[in-house]
Amino acid sequence: MISRRSLLQVAAVPAAAATTSAAAPKNLVIASSNGPDCCRLAMEMLQAGKDTLDAVVAGVTLVEDDPRDTSVGYGGLPNEEGVVELDASVMHGPSRRAGSVASLRNIRNPSQVARLVMTQTDHIMLVGEGALRFARAHGFAEQNLLTEQARLAWLVWKQSLRDAGGWNNWAPGLDAPDPAPQAWLRERFPGATAEMLAWAWEVARHPPTGTISCLALNARGEMSGVTTTSGLAWKIPGRVGDSPIIGAGLYVDQDAGAAGSTGRGEENIRVAGAHTVVELMRQGRSAKEAVLETLRRVSRNYGDNLAKLGRFDLNFYALRKDGDYAGGSLWDANVTGSRRVRRQFAVNDGGASRLEDCAYLYERRP
């Protein structure tokens, strides 16, 4: 249970690298915690002299293509009708351009489509059917993005919804020979392991968010960023989160720095989070101070009511033009039952990618 006394309003001890400012720009890539591979590929591209935006888009493409990440691209958890809808945005620092797509169906790489909106149109954002037609026009292949694992989780979610009498039209009825709730699932998904079924029940009960945001700086001081997601699981069709909103899920200003976000998008949109982080860095705050101050505004929106704040999490990633960087979260950890996972973010400064602890506003106690 969360009590005010059990919470410390202190920031985590930052990783040493997060507090130092580099005098000269250097190649540096940061991302949300699902991004070590993404950072590695983006770094390889920076080292090969490729453009910063091409590097981060190539990096997140790995995650969009990976069916094991159920929060991004192919294999993402679907909306309430079982359809995967993807959101993404990109910003290119040197040219000060941006592009985004929202509620895009059937195309596994929305970040690449967002980059094309930036380079091949006179617009910044395309949504829904228009975004799909645009992607089709540019030769993107259409496919069903719903994997069997995601379909299993979606059906479990539908079965978990009950009216006051315990009825659910999507679950076996009174006349079913075997009333065991999971019997039909085992029949319909013979390949599903016990672990997969347990995961499906967990995500049905606690609709997860998840996303990848990746920011890069190169040795010439150029910066770019991308954020891409399947958004909130079981969302109302057409729901758009913060990820494709320039200034919320992503913001890059070549003069100051870059910021991206993951977590409950609705909270981020209300504080124009990524733009706020970048503005604070422009005013001279460190990356860590900027993410924490932005999170304080989120907390303020709920009058610092910890019971309400405890129902979601929000994370920011910040990279200053001089190489100072940080990840910051509303909460120190994600707690599921007795499992406590420290909030972290991925960093690559030229070697292997590593995870560093996020700074945070509040501590969760089991």
Catalytic option among 61, 147, 211, 229: 211
Q: What is the smallest separation between the CB atom of 289 and ligand ASP, expressed in angstroms? A: 22
Cβ proximity of 100 and 114 under 8 Å: yes
**Residue 232 lies near ligand ASP (rule: CB under 6 A):** yes
Strand locations in 144-242, DSSP E? Answer: 212-217, 223-229
Within 13 Å and on the Cβ side, how many CA atoms surround 258? Answer: 34
Residues 285-314 that bind ligand ASP (CB under 6 A): none
**Residue 76 lies near ligand ASP (rule: CB under 6 A):** no
Q: What is the DSSP letter of 70?
A: T
The two beta strands, 125-127 and 257-263, are unpaired
Name which of 263 and 328 has its Cβ closer to ligand ASP: 263
Cβ proximity of 220 and 230 under 8 Å: no
Of 147, 211, 224, 353, the one binding ligand ASP (CB under 6 A) is 211
Q: Which stretch binds ligand ASP (CB under 6 A): 107-115, 160-168, 181-189, 258-266?
A: 258-266
**Residue 73 lies near ligand ASP (rule: CB under 6 A):** no
Of 70, 224, 228, 262, the one binding ligand ASP (CB under 6 A) is 262
Is 20 one of the catalytic residues? Answer: no
Q: Which stretch binds ligand ASP (CB under 6 A): 59-67, 177-185, 224-232, 349-357?
A: 224-232
**Residue type at 242 in one-letter notation:** D
Q: Which stretch binds ligand ASP (CB under 6 A): 1-9, 16-24, 199-207, 226-234?
A: 226-234
Distance CA 37, CA 345 (A): 12
List CB contacts of 314: < 8 A, sequence separation 6 or more: 261, 262, 263, 264, 267, 268, 273, 295, 298, 329, 330
CA-closest candidate to residue 192, choices 225, 151, 233: 151
Of 64, 69, 222, 242, the one binding ligand ASP (CB under 6 A) is 242
Of 257, 263, 323, 328, the one binding ligand ASP (CB under 6 A) is 263
User: Residue-wise over 25-35: b if at least 16 C-beta within 10 A, else e?
Assistant: bebbbbbbbbb
**Residue 247 lies near ligand ASP (rule: CB under 6 A):** no
Q: What is the smallest separation between the CB atom of 232 and ligand ASP, expressed in angstroms? A: 5
Which residues are marked as active site?
211
